[in-house]
Structure formats: structure tokens, C-alpha cells
């Protein structure tokens, strides 16, 4: 039999997981400022294996509008360059030996609006993920009540706790989304 407290704990962990995934998605949305997280997870075809860029070199932001990538393996430089040019970030790297310099151009108004649209889409996806966790946990709570490991009063109390967990996670998602939108619209 499923323990209602355990069901709530599992739901909280899964909602936290959705929040972590949402934050990772936010880092991939470009603002006007250079930040290593913008390209860390960029997939690079390295000798036939898809590898995150951060595993192929060190990424730094020496200036507000510049990223540098010090590639550790000289033979991987062209693969890294190809991955950056093939991404939807709109960046064009300049190669200097094993170092790639990525100037971050200021965003145009149209590009900002596209990124805001993408942000809203990712925000809604994160909300849906949290709500799906709630729905599954609620089903598990009902099953626990039918099995006799929880009374109707317990079910009601646990369902309220589950709703509070959901509301808290969605509020966090919305707050982080608003903050990212403000960064995007910043001139």
C-alpha cells in the first residue's frame, strides 16, 4: 500500500525536477549579455559522439558581450565551430588557434520578441509538467484511500497539501519567467 506522505514527498521531488529542467531551459535562451550557460549544453559531434560543449573546453565571459571557448583538443575546434554556427543562437565564432571568440551582438527588437515567445512556451511547458505530477500524485492518493491506507479526511488534507505544493512551484516558475522576460526586453 502507498503511504500518502511518501506520495507527497515523491510529488515534491518530481516538481523540483521540473523546476530544474525549466531553469536549464532558461539558461539556453539568449539575452543581450554573454553568459557561459548560453552554450554549455550545445551538442557537438565529437568523433561521432554527441557531446555537450562544456566537456570539450573551458567557456568564459571575459566581457559583457563576448564569450571565449578554450578547446582542449585541437582537432575538435572545427566541430565546435560547426555546432555553434548550426545552433539557433545566431552567433558566428572567430577562431584563434584553439580559442574561439564569440561576440554576442545586441538583440534586435524582432529577435527579442521571438525569444519572449519561446520563453512563454517553455514556461507553459514547465507549468504543464508540474500539473501532470499533481494529477499523478492525486490519482495515487485516491488509490491509497481505496486500498484503505488513508481515510477520506486524510485524502482531502493531502490533496490540499498537494495543491499548495503545485501552487508554490508554479509561482516560482512564473517569477523566474518574469525575471528572464525583463532581461530579454532590456535594451
**Please, which residues have CB within 8 angstroms of residue 20's CB and are 6 or more apart in sequence?**
none
Given 54, 81, 103, which residue is the final one in a domain?
A: 103
Same domain, 82 and 146: no
Burial 133-153 (b: 16+ CB within 10 A, else e): bbeebbebbeebbeeeebeee
Distance CA 98, CA 56 (A): 11
Sign of torsion, CA 180 181 182 185?
A: positive
What per-residue confidence (pLDDT) applies to 169?
96
Given 103, 123, 148, which residue is the final one in a domain?
A: 103
The CATH number linked to 97 is 3.30.1360.40
The CATH number linked to 163 is 1.10.132.20
Given 85, 103, 121, which residue is the final one in a domain?
A: 103
Distance CA 46, CA 83 (A): 10
Residues of the domain holding 172: 4-27+108-185
Low-confidence ranges of the chain (pLDDT < 50): 1
Q: What are phi and psi of 57, to 5 degrees?
A: 180, 175
How many domains in the chain?
Answer: 2
Burial 76-103 (b: 16+ CB within 10 A, else e): bbebbbebbeebebebebeeeebbbebe
Same domain, 78 and 15: no
Task: Encode pLDDT of 105-156 as tens digits.
Answer: 887 888 888 889 999 999 999 999 999 999 999 999 888 888 887 788 888 8
What per-residue confidence (pLDDT) applies to 57?
92
Same domain, 44 and 82: yes
**Please, which residues have CB within 8 angstroms of residue 82's CB and are 6 or more apart in sequence?**
44, 45
The pTM (predicted TM-score) of the whole model is 0.71
Same domain, 60 and 125: no
Same domain, 71 and 121: no
Same domain, 97 and 58: yes
**Please, which residues have CB within 8 angstroms of residue 184's CB and are 6 or more apart in sequence?**
29, 31, 107, 112, 115, 116, 119
What per-residue confidence (pLDDT) applies to 187?
54
Amino acid at each position: 500500500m502507498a503511504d500518502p506522505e511518501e506520495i507527497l514527498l515523491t510529488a515534491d521531488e518530481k516538481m523540483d525536477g521540473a523546476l530544474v529542467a525549466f531553469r536549464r531551459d532558461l539558461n539556453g535562451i539568449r539575452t543581450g549579455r554573454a553568459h557561459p550557460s548560453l552554450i554549455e549544453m550545445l551538442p557537438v559531434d565529437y568523433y561521432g559522439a554527441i557531446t555537450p560543449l562544456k566537456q570539450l573546453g573551458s567557456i568564459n565571459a571575459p566581457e559583457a558581450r563576448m564569450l571565449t571557448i578554450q578547446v582542449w583538443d585541437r582537432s575538435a575546434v572545427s566541430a565546435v565551430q560547426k555546432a555553434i554556427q548550426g545552433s539557433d543562437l545566431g552567433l558566428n565564432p572567430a577562431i584563434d588557434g584553439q580559442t574561439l571568440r564569440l561576440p554576442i551582438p545586441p538583440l534586435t527588437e524582432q529577435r527579442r520578441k521571438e525569444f519572449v515567445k519561446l520563453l512563454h512556451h517553455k514556461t507553459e511547458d514547465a507549468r504543464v509538467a508540474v500539473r501532470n505530477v499533481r494529477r499523478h500524485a492525486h490519482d495515487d492518493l485516491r488509490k491509497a484511500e481505496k486500498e484503505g491506507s488513508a481515510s477520506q479526511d486524510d485524502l482531502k488534507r493531502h490533496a490540499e497539501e498537494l495543491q499548495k505544493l503545485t501552487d508554490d512551484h508554479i509561482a516560482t516558475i512564473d517569477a523566474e519567467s518574469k525575471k528572464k522576460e525583463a532581461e530579454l526586453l532590456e535594451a
